[in-house]
Structure 1
Amino acid sequence: MEILATLIVLLLLCSLYILWKLYSQQSTKNCYLIDYVCFKAPCDQQVTRKIAGEIIERNRLLGLSEYKFLLKVIINSGMGVETYAPKNIIEARETSPTVNDAFQEMDEVIDTSVNDLFRKTNISPRDVDLLVINISGFSPAPSLASRVVRRYKMREDVKTYNLSGMGCSASLVSLDLVRNTFNSGKKTIALVLSTESLSPNWYPGKDKSMMLSNILFRTGGSVMLLTNDPAMRARAKMSLKCLIRAHTGANDNAYNCAMQKEDDEGIVGMHLGKSLPKAAVHAFSENFQRLVPKILPYRELALYVYRTIKQKVVKPAGKGNLAMTQIDYKTGIDHFCLHTGGPAVIEAVGRALRLSKYDTEPASMTLHRWGNTSSSSVWYVLGYMEAKKRLKKGDRLLMITFGTGFKCNSCMWEVNRDLADGGAWEDDIKNYPPQTLVNPYMEMYGWVADETDETFNREERAEEFRRSQ
């Protein structure tokens, strides 16, 4: 009897241990955003109208055709005159960057942002179990992840990942990596850093498809602390509910529409092709087909199924997927964090999701203030919402990003508490949205529209520009 009783007790204890283990593993599959910081560069790195003009004037290869193209792009870029560029570009050394220029740019983002985040959260670098860095255009050895480990004296067992070449959508790729690591069941604190290296990647040629990247991309970066520890949920800002990734790189047009290559003169640059919008639409569609069931309430899903069946029965000619275009995404989402790839990208996504100007305002204002900061852009958009005190407890927020490959990644967050941190927007939020978004470059380069090949004299115009300063 004693042996039987002992076996029963042991079985009971084993069962309790297994149940506890299952509960612990399940509870640590969550992903909480403890806090985040967006980088704000020094004022002496602002790309003012004067500096932008000087940068354009320095490229001696540009003729009237290139001037007209640049003017059109700048006017339609949606950017103001307070964005930032690396020091080597501000100091007129963009055509001869050094490795130290690239390191200096990265160190500035890392030192400022990571220090601020550790100070805000009162978490020590020694507490970090997982470090993920995504920077597409600069991959030195030792890696930048190793540079951070050394800088902050992190533990010897810290897991590090250094992602390169992932483009503007890399931030959510890093987030997915963190989430998958969290599923192991061990309580973990993760540090994620998203930025882009512009210093060594300036294009000094005259291929219009490569000149675009010089205009569109600006200095920026973000750093996030995440955890799966249920005990830290109360102090976390948001909880990750789902994350969907779509990669259409098997399609040649999608793969080739945004890539680093040489122009006809052998100059390396980032090519942004005419097929990019089509590739973005395709990736967006692939992503949302899997995302929709995870973010919409049952009623809206039932309506979607009904409309889909109805469309298959009626089969209207040339109407596309009408059921998808009729979805009311606001039934499941309160806020939309869109990638700031440009006004056309924001407007296209806004139309596809049937969003109002209020919904797309955070992305448009982020583009105006900071430019396209690549993978970190959605965090500046999030910062705008928080600084405007839009984010309330229980709200659901959707992040959508696009990147080379071609990729469309999206994720949904739930806000854990009312948020009102000014962050990088602290000094500017009162001025947004501005009274007018009239492009400030029109006055400086309005003459380009009236010039012809016969009347255009580059040297005279350059001298006229210098005198106007």
Structure 2
Amino acid sequence: MSALGSILADRWGITGQSTLLASAAALAATLVVAEKDTLLNPDFLNSQKERLWELPTYKLYALGAAAVLVFLYAAISLLWPAVPRVLLVDFSCFTPPQRLKCSRKRLMDEIRLKGVFTEANLEFQEKILERSGLGDETGLSDGIAAMKDGEVKTTLKAALEESEMVLYDVVENLLAKSNTDPQEIDIVIVSCSCFAPTPSMAAMITNHFKLRRDVLTYNLSGMGCSSSLICIDLVKHLLKAMPNKLALIVNHENITQNWYVGNDRSMLVCNCLFRLGGAGALLSNRPKDIRRAKYELVHTVRVHLGCEDDAFGCMGNGEDSEGIKGVFLRRNVVSVAGRALKVNLQRLGPLTLPITEMVKVVMNKAYVPKFNNAFEHFLLHTGGRAVIDEMEEKLSLTPAQCQPSKDALYRFGNTSAASTWYILSNIEHFSGLKRGDRIWQLGFGGGFKCNSAVWRARRNVKASHECWE
């Protein structure tokens, strides 16, 4: 019967309880229908009921076996839940090598040597760095970290070398720690907002790890710092349509070609916040991954304010008045983020908040529900220290609940879409999670987007991560 279940799962996608029921039915039918003139004949059932016990012994055994199988199915249905749609098997974060770590003082010293920034803008960048919440061990790419007299390498080759270093390291470590053969991967989704080479990054991973010829690849660009949540939502829909699949998602932001050397303050902010990083995760709906999976996806909520002109234009790639390229952040980005978060919470609240909090919202429209009653852990986008402090206040979170986000910002800086994975690795490494703990993963991105994912821990999780050692 196990062989039949394997065939059903592999060929037709019948898994979990359905496999058991189909296997039981097939076995019972095979045993009972040994001759055409017995149980399949209606006349026999109607006219020979009293002679049931006169059936051959092996057929009585078949009926008994069928009854036992039905009983077992009912019991297992109650004790063994169906396969969740999306399981998070494991994830891995990139650890910048020592040679690429750059202190705030060294960065400012090199920036001054460049000689292109006005004195006022040098002071502006220094203030941003002091208030940013970044520490002195954040990483820069080779093209930027090796700067001399303020000169950086922002060539296509340097950018490709940065992405190859991050992508290959993340995937290699993830496959090793999860004991996964690259040939098992069915889907690859890579997100990188500001760098889209050809062949794509998804193709680079496919080539480097020699994935199967029928692997499905997706490469997302321009989706901003919340693209990790978009990848998760995309996987959710793909796995809903395709059973028994394993998906690899990789989130990375290339900073080499986004280094700005002009005097537009809206573009200088990104030099002070964005740093080298990346992360990858394996998501699955395969029955074989139920026991080893760490988390189960419960909800995803996506909000897009692109229909509003001020939201659409509050951040993105552009050129200053002198034609120098960079990533700009307008002054209204904070207010736009607040609007997007409000819409996201309006949709997320009814899915996650306790009834008591929902009643308070209904009774008092001005009441801000306490989301720390809905979740045990918070993965807040590390857009900057002020962003995290604002969410801590508005959402009535405790300092302990926001500390992992602040620690990730301090240690790695704003790593864009990968930032929330660094926060989860911090929680796993230092405090751990208990079975049943609920996790809220929140990200903001250009366009303007605010996306959420809610996870539930399937088991107690306490794991070491190299990036925090």
Scaled by the length of structure 1, what TM-score is found? 0.81
1:49: Cα distance to partner? 3.8
Deviations 1:84-142 (A, max 9, x none): 00001112276542221111111111221111111111111100000000011111111
Corresponding position of 2:388: 346
Equivalent residues in 2 for 1:250-269, closer than 5 Å: 250-269=307-326
Corresponding position of 1:113: 170
Match of 1:38 among 93, 98, 102: 93
Corresponding position of 2:412: 370
User: What CA distance in whole angstroms lies between the structure 2 residues aligned with 1:126 and 1:361?
Assistant: 38
Corresponding position of 2:374: 332
Q: What code does the residue aligned with 2:432 have?
A: R
Corresponding position of 2:128: 73
User: What CA distance in whole angstroms lies between the structure 1 residues aligned with 2:121 and 2:384?
Assistant: 20
Q: For the Cα contact (< 8 Å) 1:113–1:223, is it kept in 2?
A: yes
Q: What code does the residue aligned with 2:294 have?
A: K
Q: What code does the residue aligned with 2:193 have?
A: S
Corresponding position of 1:60: 115
The answer as to 2:171 corresponding to 1:171 is: no
Q: For the Cα contact (< 8 Å) 2:94–2:467, is it kept in 1?
A: no
User: What CA distance in whole angstroms lies between the structure 2 residues aligned with 1:402 and 1:185?
Assistant: 29
Corresponding position of 2:158: 101
Match of 1:292 among 349, 354, 357: 349
Match of 1:304 among 361, 378, 389: 361
User: What CA distance in whole angstroms lies between the structure 2 residues aligned with 1:100 and 1:58?
Assistant: 24
Q: For the Cα contact (< 8 Å) 1:383–1:424, is it kept in 2?
A: no
Q: Do the aligned partners of residues 389 and 6 (structure 1) sit closer, same or farther apart at CA in structure 2, a change above 3 Å counting?
A: farther
User: What CA distance in whole angstroms lies between the structure 2 residues aligned with 1:202 and 1:7?
Assistant: 80
Q: For the Cα contact (< 8 Å) 1:387–1:425, is it kept in 2?
A: no
| Larger mean Cα displacement after TM superposition, 285-294 or 98-107 | 98-107
Report the secondary structure of 1:337's partner residue.
strand
Match of 2:460 among 411, 418, 429: 418
Q: For the Cα contact (< 8 Å) 1:28–1:183, is it kept in 2?
A: no
Report the secondary structure of 2:299's partner residue.
strand
Report the secondary structure of 2:361's partner residue.
helix
Report the secondary structure of 1:340's partner residue.
coil
| Larger mean Cα displacement after TM superposition, 51-60 or 101-110 | 51-60
Q: Runs of 5+ in structure 2 lacking a partner? A: 1-35, 44-69
Deviations 1:379-402 (A, max 9, x none): 011111111123111111111110
User: What CA distance in whole angstroms lies between the structure 1 residues aligned with 2:432 and 2:213?
Assistant: 41
Corresponding position of 2:439: 397
- The share of aligned pairs that are identical, in percent, is 35
User: What CA distance in whole angstroms lies between the structure 1 residues aligned with 2:335 and 2:248?
Assistant: 34
Q: What code does the residue aligned with 1:377 have?
A: S
User: What CA distance in whole angstroms lies between the structure 1 residues aligned with 2:437 and 2:287?
Assistant: 20
Q: What code does the residue aligned with 1:228 have?
A: N
User: What CA distance in whole angstroms lies between the structure 1 residues aligned with 2:41 and 2:384?
Assistant: 70
Q: What code does the residue aligned with 1:379 have?
A: W
1:362: Cα distance to partner? 0.6
Q: For the Cα contact (< 8 Å) 1:27–1:230, is it kept in 2?
A: no
Equivalent residues in 2 for 1:356-367, closer than 5 Å: 356-367=398-409
Q: For the Cα contact (< 8 Å) 1:340–1:367, is it kept in 2?
A: yes
| Larger mean Cα displacement after TM superposition, 123-132 or 231-240 | 231-240
Q: What code does the residue aligned with 2:420 have?
A: V
Q: For the Cα contact (< 8 Å) 1:28–1:186, is it kept in 2?
A: no
Q: For the Cα contact (< 8 Å) 1:391–1:418, is it kept in 2?
A: yes
Equivalent residues in 2 for 1:442-453, closer than 5 Å: none
Deviations 1:58-88 (A, max 9, x none): 3312122112211211111111100000001
| Larger mean Cα displacement after TM superposition, 262-271 or 416-425 | 416-425
Deviations 1:238-296 (A, max 9, x none): 11100100000111111111011110111111110001001100110111110001111
Q: For the Cα contact (< 8 Å) 2:433–2:461, is it kept in 1?
A: yes
Corresponding position of 1:85: 140
| Larger mean Cα displacement after TM superposition, 92-101 or 63-72 | 92-101
1:226: Cα distance to partner? 0.8
Structure exhibiting the larger radius of gyration computed from Cα positions: 2
User: What CA distance in whole angstroms lies between the structure 2 residues aligned with 1:362 and 1:7?
Assistant: 68
Corresponding position of 1:461: none
Q: For the Cα contact (< 8 Å) 1:37–1:424, is it kept in 2?
A: no
Q: What code does the residue aligned with 1:365 have?
A: D
Query: Could you say what the CA RMSD is over the residues aligned between the two structures, in angstroms?
Result: 2.3
Q: Do the aligned partners of residues 426 and 70 (structure 1) sit closer, same or farther apart at CA in structure 2, a change above 3 Å counting?
A: closer
Equivalent residues in 2 for 1:141-290, closer than 5 Å: 141-290=198-347
User: What CA distance in whole angstroms lies between the structure 1 residues aligned with 2:404 and 2:450?
Assistant: 19
1:29: Cα distance to partner? 5.3
Q: For the Cα contact (< 8 Å) 2:133–2:410, is it kept in 1?
A: yes
Report the secondary structure of 2:291's partner residue.
helix
User: What CA distance in whole angstroms lies between the structure 2 residues aligned with 1:111 and 1:225?
Assistant: 15
Q: Runs of 5+ in structure 1 lacking a partner? A: 9-15, 309-321, 428-469
User: What CA distance in whole angstroms lies between the structure 2 residues aligned with 1:230 and 1:333?
Assistant: 27
User: What CA distance in whole angstroms lies between the structure 1 residues aligned with 2:286 and 2:258?
Assistant: 39
Deviations 1:324-358 (A, max 9, x none): x1x12122211111000001110111112101111
Q: For the Cα contact (< 8 Å) 2:167–2:252, is it kept in 1?
A: no
Scaled by the length of structure 2, what TM-score is found? 0.81
Q: For the Cα contact (< 8 Å) 1:241–1:414, is it kept in 2?
A: yes
1:164: Cα distance to partner? 0.4
Report the secondary structure of 1:76's partner residue.
helix
Corresponding position of 2:102: 47
